[in-house]
Amino acid sequence: MADATPSAGPRLSDLLAADAITIGADAPDWRAAVRAAGDCLVQGGATRAAYTDEMIAAVEELGPYMVIAPGIALAHSRPSPSVLRAGISIVTLHQPVAFGHPQNDPVRLVVGLAAPDEEGHVTALSTLAEFLSDPARLEALIAAETPDQVRHMVARFEEEQAAAATEGIPT
């Protein structure tokens, strides 16, 4: 039975389509890295191609704010008509890429985030942040060699969340 509490966000497995994962992408620059994450969102059915252009435009306009932690970029834009449903993509890079962030470059992991509205944006981001908050899980994600390994990590994370909820342990 799913947790119906208001603080419960969407399950990562609901947000991360099976074909929204790319391992070892070749990206010569940050634009190509963001485009890879956007292409995965399109392939996963979360967005139209125009959303990828919106993500790139956001970096061009606002700078490398998307580089949220050492080695991690969260590619996203504002909710828009180009977003069909909430979704996440995961792209690991064959070679790290500089986004121009003074502390957190170079980027090894690009996570695409799409949400149809502000509420969906916040809950999807919360779920993702919890998943990425464990340093060992993050390193395993970056080192994954197949999309199946990533899906296995997501499934294990969801099992841990469910077990903690059953035991009344805050996640």
- Quickly list H helices, the chain: 12-15, 30-43, 49-62, 118-132, 135-143, 147-166
Q: Which helix (H) or strand (E) holds 101?
A: none
Report how far Cα 92 is from the mean position of its chain's Cα atoms: 11
Amino acid at 23: I
The secondary structure of residue 116, as a DSSP letter, is S
Active site residue 94: no
Of residues 76, 94, 101, 121, which has the active-site annotation? 76
Amino acid at 135: P
Residues with a catalytic annotation lie at 76
